[in-house]
Amino acid sequence: MGMMDAMMNSMIKALSPDEREELMLKMMPEMMKGIDINRVMPDMLKEVGQHTTLFSVYVFLSKALKDEELKGILKEALKKMKEKMPEMMKMMRPLMQPLMEEKMMPAMQEFMSPMMPMMKDMMPAMLEKSMIPKLKEKPDIKENMLGMMQTMFSHCSINMVPLIKKGDRINFIKKLFGSLAQSAGSEMSPTEKNRFIDESIQIMKEGIS
């Protein structure tokens, strides 16, 4: 077994980084056979969580911001990860979807909950200063983000808005209608605006009856 390990190590080291990635992607399905991902992944994340502290993350990020070589390595790694992501996600989807639904989303809700009051105050500025300019610059990011938003927004409206207290919900929806109407009407002709208003009123009547 020791000799076989040595031979494998030598063969892998002889490959270029791109060839190693390609080999790994081809081998991954076989390597994952017989592994209960619903059990293994939470254990791995728990182990990572036990050894990752806010201080260690702060130290790493502080070093990365000052170390040009490390910044270059991270930039290149992120670039390669982005290129491989569609292929990796396609391969991992049958494993990731049940894992996300049953294990990771509940855990993320618990973890993120204490941060949400701060994020609620920060998000409007982050959207205006960081996310919106990036969407305008990057057509591929814009297409993916807006597609996800349109799907998520309708699901949140159906499933989460009813959880808001009645009085708060009515005020929220009135405010939301105003924002949506302003956004929708920004490039409409007077005729289109009138038709949009009539159709929207009809949809609201049908939805609320």
Q: Where are the domains of the chain?
A: 15-114, 132-163, 165-209
> Is residue 160 very low, low, confident or very high in pLDDT (cuts 50, 70, 90)?
confident
Q: Provide the pLDDT for residue 6.
A: 57
- CA 47 vs CA 41, 42, 153: distances in Å: 10, 9, 34
Question: Measured between alpha carbons, how far is 153 from 27 in angstroms, rounded to an integer?
Answer: 38
- Decide: 75 and 82 in contact? Cβ < 8 Å: no
More confident: 138 or 62: 138
Return the C-alpha torsion angle 48, 59, 141, 107, nearest 10. Answer: 30
Enter the tokens of residue 5: 């390990």
| Distance of alpha carbon 64 from alpha carbon 57, whole angstroms | 10
DSSP state of 59: H
Question: Is the torsion defined by CA of 100, 104, 110, 113 positive or negative?
Answer: negative
Give me the residue label for tokens 């009135």: 174
Q: Are 110 and 45 in contact (CB under 8 A)?
A: no
Q: What angle do CA 160, 130, 153 make, to 5 degrees?
A: 20
Q: Maximum Cα–Cα distance for the chain, whole Å? A: 79
Would you say residue 58 has pLDDT above 50? yes
Ramachandran sector of residue 6 (left: φ over 0; alpha: ψ -120 to 50; beta: rest): alpha
Supply the pLDDT for residue 171.
92
Using DSSP's 3-state secondary structure scheme, residue 44 falls into helix
Task: Please give the pLDDT value at position 164.
Answer: 92
The structure's pTM equals 0.49
Closest CA to 40 of 93, 111, 104: 104
Over pLDDT 90: what percentage of the chain? Answer: 4
Does pLDDT of 178 surpass 80? yes
Tokens of 165: 């207290």
First to last CA, the chain: 72
